[in-house]
Structure 1
Amino acid sequence: MSAREGNRMLGRFLLIWSFLGLMFLSAVPSFAAPSDGTSAQTAKPAPGAAEPGATSSEGIGWNSISANVNRQLASIQTTLKRIFNQLNRTDVPIGTDALVHMGQQAENALNNAQSLQTQIASYQSIYESYVDVIGAKPVEGESPNIAAQRKRLQTGLQDIKSARTQSKLYELQAKQLQADIQRRNVRMHQALLSEQLESPLTPGFWHNLISDYPDDRQVFARPSDDGYTGPLYRWPYFLIALGGTLAVLVLAGRPSLSLLRRVQVSIMRRFGHRQEADTSSISFLPVALNGFVCAVMSVIVWELLAHILGFASDEGNAFISGLAGALPICGFIIGAGLPILSHATAADGLTPDAPRALRGADWSLALIVLFQNILLLLSKENTFGLTSQRFLEGIYAIVVSTIFAMVCRRLSHDSEAQHIRLAPPVRGVSFLVMIVAWGAVALGYFSFAFTMVSWFVSLGVGLAILGLLALCLRELTTRLLAPGTLLAARLAPLGVGSNRVAQLGVLISGAGNLILMVVLVAIAMSDGNFDIATIADRLRTLFVGQSINGVHFSLGTVVTCIFILIAAYYGIRQVRRWLEHKLFPTTRLDIGAQSSILNVITYVAWIAIFLLTLSEAGLTMKNLTWVVSALSVGIGFGLQSIVQNFVSGIILIAERPIRVGDMVQIGGTTGDVKRISVRSTEIGLGDGSTMIVPNSQFITSPVRNATLSGALSAVSVSVTISPRADAMSAQQLLMKMMEERSDILKSPGPGVAISAITDTGVTLALSAKVPSARDVGGVTNAMMEDAYRTLREADIPLGKPA
């Protein structure tokens, strides 16, 4: 194809695309931003969806989603108004669960408003761009279509700005409601902990307790003609179901443990662990698995007995659902017995004296957890009167704290418990909790005593159960990923060495421990409630997160940020390796230039990664204002030297007065520059040690760089001969000696000149160039020795220096 034909085709191509561009401009409002409206979460309305006379193509622009945006804004407004009205009601007390539910609704409204605001902002930027293209004001002689187009764009832009303003207002209202809910929740907890009734040591308390008795009896009332039914009128059936569930666990716990031990031996043999035939070896895996089996069994038996006894149909009874939620934890405690508190552990190889000192501790702990959950349910549902409820909580706090202190004392003094002797701080804490619980109950602070004891119980049980699971995870990874096992043998042909397999086991165990720590935090946040649903809800809160002062925190965000940092670390390392081993060897860059380029790329990359991580975490400069202020104060008082060294490091990398590989002298010390970072510079000394010098000293102190102007260096030696000797012959001999040396450069060549003539001698100056300043000392010494030997062999007497 000729050049003329090519130009002709190019002209046709440009003409076609110009025509298509004009057609696109004529349909501007409709192409404002195609969207199906699915990404919006909420919004309130923009007046005037479309102008009369708008073309049919407007159905794919802002007008197509404005109605949906308005509905979502209206939905947000309704939600926020409902939350506001609930918070300001005075006829009905607001409980903790209600506050949690309203907090979740406010969180959803906030997220919806922010998402909708982002969507509206995209439409606003597009419409503003089109208005800039057409012009905000009419011009003389323009087409009527352009004028109509401008009017429709400006009308739509006003609607968009109105909707965005409303979304911002709803975002602020949601944040304000969240803050109000958090304050009320804190005040409620503080009021509960500081609640004081009459002391049980006074007659008034017992009078109030007796006065509550008639009303408390109604809790057990059977269905009457007026339709009232006591929530605990089926309490005999509840006790029968609980007793039957515990009896089944007693009968099935030990056989299940034995079966699991045999299964473990078979599996471990299959994976290459022949030594597992010794059933006396300690293993926590069957103990933990037996706990899970008993937990599932407790739920199944409870549901069966509930159907048999006829109270399973009471789905609205929170007491029944609460008991069902706590039974799995109780079943796990009974089945596993906790790693050191159970008869099951004794079967795994420990001496029988150790569990004998804690006989029945697993059952006692399971009953304590069950009673604690029952009391929390009764308090939540306001089943009994205030005095009766607090009286039950006080008895629980006294009994449990006393049992805990007595068990710790027994473990400290009983000779049978030598293998599990507790540390003195544990004993001290147990007696402190007991004293505080007794004192709080005596003074009438029943809620404080119950909350403190229940929190200790939940934290202790959570630590024990999760500690057992952590031991099981470590044991499982060790046995499955140990050298010589079947899995390690299968991975070996793939190039995975035994050390890599062991590292994989350590990583899996560490990740599992992190997850268990998160579960422990969720248990600690559950206010002593061992209901599985409650703990799961706390876990969901940790993973989903919550907004604090406009910043959304969640475990998922933390994991994402950590993943970004890890991926960035390995990515930057691979780029550095590629530059060092692939790219730089093909260039003429010296080692100093290579080091500077690597440092600049690394620091710029980490700054970008840091900003990306902040963005992913939802932090902006507005959120970090207090951090910047704190850093300013810190720099003013104690970080001047760090900032000074940082700035000096940047100057050294940019200006390069010293480079990696240079021979420098600073403060009387001479060495080679090995590394330049943003804080300090490493200098290798002649004895093999490394001197770390702050970068500011290279900026503020005199520095001698022997290799800055080039790699070559000069060697100068002075020799004095007798005034009676032939100076010209001596010059020729010394010149020949230097020319024969291989460590002296031939270009530029060496030289010998007479530098002084005195009565005592003639001084000859020998000069030469060497490839590196590091060779000066050795070459100087060698030249002196050769000069002395040459003059002596030629019988040229030496003189005295002036």
Structure 2
Amino acid sequence: MRHSMINRWCMGLLALCLWATVPAHAEPAPAPAANTASAPAEVLATPAQLSDQLDQIRQKVSTAANDDLLASLRQAALQVQRQADALLARQGVDMGHLDDQLNVLGAAQPDEPQALTTQRRTLANQKKALTTDQTDTTALSTSAGDLAAQILNVRRNLLDTQISTRSASPLSSAFWSSLVQPTDDDVRKLGGLWQDVSQVFATAMAPGSRGTFIGVLVCALLVWVVARRLIERLLVRAMIRWFPEGRLRRSTLALATGLTTVLTISAATSLLQWGIVSHSQPSANVLNLIDQVQTLILFCAFIVGMGRALLMLPNPSWRLPTIPDPVATAIGVLPAVLALALMAIGTFERINSVIASSLALSVAVNGLTALVVSLILVYGLVRVRQTRRRLALERTAGLVGLIPFILAVWVGIILLGLLSGYLTLAYVLTVKLLWISLVTSTAYLLTTFFVDVCETLLSPKQAGGQALGAMLGLSPRHQAQASTLLAGIGRTVLLCIALILVFMPSGSNPSELLASFARLDVGSKSLGALNIVPGDILLAVVLLVGGLLSIRILKNWLGDRLLPETNMDAGMRASLVTLVGYIGFVLLGIAVLSTLRISLTNLTWVVSALSVGIGFGLQAIVQNFISGLILLTERPVKVGDWVSLAGVEGDIRRINVRATEIQMGDRSTVIVPNSQFITQNVRNVTMGNALGVVGITLTLPLDTDVLKIRDLLMTAYAEHEAVLSEPAPSVTFKDLTNAGLLISVSGFVNSPRSVGGVRSDLLFTILDRLRTMGVALSAPQSMLLVNDKVDASPAQEQPTIS
């Protein structure tokens, strides 16, 4: 059964929030019957004691055990493994001390004193015994780990069996009769638990301890209600007074509101638990029930806290997500209703878990949980739809707009499972939906808060960033880079943690996953031979798709966010993004091959075939590929340069692996192989920030006042905004010919691409001013034909040039 799924997963949500609650919540309680209470840190159990504990755990494991008992036994086995590892570490230290003492004594000498010989023999015997203990402890640690893995497989098989088993649906009377009329054995177990609980409360309300228990109860209520509201009011005042206006104020208040709700409720329940346990001697079943109910309260507190933090009904203007006020008001009561429903039905679930009730009753309670949660979510979806229709609100764009659709489909699958009788499947989907919702909302809240902190404290656009930069002497460019980079790293880390928690394997908790990652030794594993299984293929496909998506996101982030904050030009940024993409593809290929267990030595035949192909037909492709890498590293040309190559002149738009794309003046694109940029002469017009020269030559009549013309040309160039003042424009008297005066003027612009437009503007201006001054350009030489009609006939006419 999945009674303990929420118990273990809500611990992961606490780890995601980076906050610690009551220490009692840190680990699930071990099985009382397994006798696995851990010894103090300074007193370690012996291998014999650990072996006895492991044998007791094995005796409790059976297919008839429920999921909660198996989960407790697995935790007990892992605790034995941790104790064995600690003992092994202590034995390693003792072994080091013995080796040091033996090294000090040295080798045996013929004439050494008998005391040294006796001491050396004693140390050698101790070392031999310690070596034997190390071997036994290592085997014990391995056995405990294997037992924990076996228990996990038993739990998964039990879950798979229950998921595939059909039961009575909520539409049948058998389903409700299992709840209303449990079996005699269940009634007997419930009666025994009720007697234990009644005895605990009778002891707590006894005359000697009644006042203390009532005082603890009142204090718990004050913490739950009064302290929470007081803290929230103080938080609002603190945000307004101490935090600058902006998103950081809103995100901090939202995070503080959620944490306040969770921590105050957790503190109240912990105080109440202490009041019950300290004044009575509850049985093991009652203690187990109290622990499970307290964990359930913590999970429900997360639901209420996240709902209040994201909806912000008391302060709508401070709401982080873009939820319209009518929609937020319509669903504002749902988190509290959902938490109360889970609290009521979840308590019944935990009672069944404690007393190990019959399978029929447990499955029926699970189905009831799934049914109630589904109906509450359906009610919320209907309220949202009606509100949007009544007020004609637009649907939210992007992935956020798909959340109602995904939720509706998921709830529809749960209801379909309930109606068809697959109650356990519906329950598992319900718990998974609640868990994903909490992890997603918490990750969104933490990500927003972290990004807002980076933006406020580091960005040069904010007052806090400006003050920090002035204090540390940082440039605005470096501050912007640090803010973008730190925000990206934090967002990535939180997203990875959220994904790990969402897709956590069945029966695991975050602490176990962290311990597994710590024990993972990737470097000692080889790629292996060509041994591919379907699971590896599926994992490789997932890794390939995820890797390609990650590379695309990384390239977009570099090109759009980080690199624009640097002083790199556009060409350098494009080259760097392309190189990062190539490196990512190579690493992704290696990772996919490793996942498929393909050794690089198995690819020798592929390399041989490629070498033959290169020798015959792939030489040009390889040459272009190597040339592309040279272009990206040496950067003789880069994206954005204006180049001229073998009659092709235009702007470089993209440098690919094999060829470079050049855009011509007519907007057409020419694909040029990369090798031509290496083997041929290339004219890079814009390399080194080359300036453009705007030159105009005029032919004027011989009687023109050249001084006035020079002033006119200099004034026209000086008045144009694109002409640079340094180097200054110049006017040159080039020549004096029969056709007239040749006067040339030239000036510089910031780019060769601007020459054409600036020259056109200047020609318009100069010709207009010449016409105003009455100065005409010198006319070209003409040819006239003259006929001599006196002595020559028409057939004998001769041309004359004037």
What TM-score, normalized to structure 1? 0.48
* Bigger RCO (CA 8 Å, 6+ sep): 2
What TM-score, normalized to structure 2? 0.48
